[in-house]
Chain A
């Protein structure tokens, strides 16, 4: 389609890749919205070309409906704006669930669906709207069927007047959609997040990790019904922590990445047998490992224990002011033949898109 070119260009402007001059006209929202209650408000992003236009004191209009002077007008207060509804309202806040958000992400980055491996372990309950019943909430009322019943009743009772075909529902006419609970096999996955919390990882780096992890989470949750997340932090020693601690813990000291790998190996062997779980490992670090020998040790653990068990190992190196950032090169050198190892560099928030794309574009 021809519009793809325009669309691509728009996306590139939005991401700040081109046309710096349009930056200040961007109407952009939070990348990471509310995560509580699994509802997120995602604005549709736009670019607002300036025009000569009226200012705030034109905020008035004409509406129709009930209400006394002084009553608030519900809704968005949009009257018959310029040109009907065509222009002037570029931001539409849309309430979407986390699933939908993940779909947007998937579509945006053209990510393939993940093909789960292994056995389907457990069965899960799901609701399917497949039936009709006499009672239920009004929101599930089946309009056509209800209408038909009311019409039939009125015809039979002689209350139907073809000249004035008014159909009035009674309680007994109403039919509602109903659902059945069905059991479905599902495959499960576990994500193990490992993060370097040594002194060189600052708040800025942690923010990048947090965003990256949020999107990883969103995408994998979209692809698996049952998912578990485990968190491991390390400096020279590694420990499993809860989610809260993972993002906020700050340690000092050196870095021994192998400690984290050993820790996750233990975790997997004890809790997540490879034939029953889809296993995802992600490691975030600034890549400043303490010694070459430890880096080699890491590669050894990976090839011998972790890689055979997991779907993929993602290494995401965030830029930091300190250190060599050499670990990514070590991985490239030793594990270039392993296609389950994917490495990315994230220097700014904008790189997160590409990083996510790199991780999941193989559909594993």
Chain B
């Protein structure tokens, strides 16, 4: 399928790699393939991979991309897969200058994949893994029929976002597994040493019996508690506890694995794109361009970074913030002294007169070193939390907008730094997905599943929640419940396989094993 890389492009790829390495980028071997429009749309619909399991949503995405392209609403310039070696695709009809830009851009992505800590747990053989998933699921389709398998995939996809992106860094759950307590074993009671004839006075029988009862109850309670504490990785919980057939468990595990694979890319969208844009810009303007290509390059570069009202461009925000950090660290605009200074004029000219010894711009400068550190240990949330400044927000003309019910339009509400920052962090935290935990896997001792939403100021969409509960029930088999706060009141949504209900939570409703704090 992929056309052979032309000599010109492969030469440029080698040259760009050299420049990128000289600048300090450290990336996986990167394989470029040249694809036609249709091919690149297919690969894009597959999330960047040449093979996926059969599912209609890839076809839906393909159609959307193709229409988008046909009507000139957008086109894919670059696509790169986090894998070792890295795979990247070039669009066959692009002029050489675009290809060069994309190549430089891709090396920076590859460097980011390799070095950013949030990617450290990602599977670097995902190319093969995705192909294996495809093969396995195809086999299930052959055996059980497309209808059944597809329907099950749809059910799993409904719950796809109920993972815990941070859990990939946690090991403790596995180690804490204890053997189930033996019910016949007598609990150890408090016995004070005593001579035989004094024993019944020092360790009276009714006290011992009371203690034994107490211990038994406690043991029973903690043993019966499932999960032991609120559990964020709902998919894993289902995988371990739902009554699934082998093939169903395998499909669910596949979907979960893929969701985890894509999670870090969602967590670092702004940084990753900012980093790649920073480097294609640096490399292209320093080494990559000839005179004739300059204007085309500028036009496309500015197109990539264009902003439009009501829309935040991650490429733009990322590159500007990285440049801001570089500039701040080159001029010493950080640390206690700078933070405490509230003299506007002084802040503005900070570092102009007291430049640190040997200050340089670019390679080897403290600013450059800082951004290399940033690309290693931050994700979008921590990146913005740490480095967003009022000056930056001002300079980038950021604003906070909100739906105005009176006019039915989105309106600018504020240019206040704190509000903008809060809104940005909210949108990025947990990928703007609600926080849902398993609170009880044996609710009311009837094997019912009880989920709870950790409310962070925004209500769930009721219609969607009701439908999603149905998907959950299909996996769980027994009735399922979701506790959520709607209009400041705690509600319990339930689905028992036939009927959806919702009721206000009061004392009459039994609490789950892990009580949800209000």
Contacts and interface: CB of A to CB of B under 8 A. Distances in A.
A binds B: yes
Interface in B32-77: 38-39, 41-42, 45-46, 51, 54-60, 62-64, 67-68, 71, 73
A79 B266 contact: no
Interface string B312-349: 11101100000000000000000000000000000000
Contacts of A3: 41-42, 45-46, 58-59, 62
Nearest to A68: B412
Interface stretch (A49-57, A226-234, A264-272, A284-292): A49-57
B459 A78 contact: no
Contacts of A70: 411-413
B415 interface: yes
B468 A72 contact: no
Interface in B368-403: 396-403
Given A10-B57, A73-B310, A79-B427, A53 B411 contact: no
A75 interface: yes
A168 interface: no
Contacts of A82: 431-433
Nearest to A70: B411
Contacts of B415: 69
B310 A75 contact: yes
Interface stretch (B153-161, B169-177, B357-365, B508-516): B153-161
Contacts of B311: 63, 75-76, 78-80
A5 interface: yes
Given A1-B42, A50-B467, A64-B396, A55 B459 contact: yes
Contacts of A8: 59
B310 A52 contact: no
A63 B266 contact: no
Interface string B63-106: 11001100101000000000000000000000000000000000
Contacts of B399: 62-65, 67
Contact of A72 (B39, B58, B409): B409
B56 A53 contact: no
Interface residues of A, number: 64
B461 interface: yes
Contacts of B397: 64-66
Nearest to A63: B310
A67 B398 CA distance: 10
B161 A7 contact: no
Contacts of B461: 53-56
Given A55-B461, A82-B431, A47 B312 contact: no
A9 B63 CA distance: 12
Question: Interface extent on B, as a size class?
Answer: 35 or more
Contacts, number: 237
B409 A73 contact: yes
B420 interface: yes
B314 A80 contact: yes
Q: Which of B157, B316, B402 has the most CB of A within 10 A?
A: B402
Contact of B58 (A6, A25, A52): A6
Nearest to A83: B266
Contacts of B223: none
A69 B423 contact: no
A94 interface: yes
Interface in A1-31: 1-3, 5-11, 13, 18-19, 21-22, 25
B59 A22 contact: no
Contacts of A94: 67, 71, 73
A10 B60 contact: yes
Nearest to B436: A52
B158 A6 contact: no
Contacts of B295: 143-144, 147
B402 A74 contact: no
B117 interface: no
A36 interface: no
B162 interface: yes
Contacts of A68: 412
Interface in A62-105: 62-84, 90, 92, 94, 96, 100, 104
25 contacts: A1-B42, A3-B59, A6-B55, A6-B58, A11-B63, A22-B154, A47-B56, A51-B161, A52-B465, A53-B464, A54-B460, A58-B458, A62-B401, A62-B423, A63-B309, A63-B311, A63-B398, A73-B401, A75-B311, A82-B431, A84-B266, A84-B314, A94-B67, A143-B295, A143-B299
Given A73-B309, A77-B310, 16 more contacts: A6-B55, A25-B467, A51-B160, A51-B468, A52-B434, A52-B482, A56-B403, A62-B399, A65-B309, A67-B399, A77-B409, A84-B266, A90-B64, A94-B67, A94-B71, A143-B299
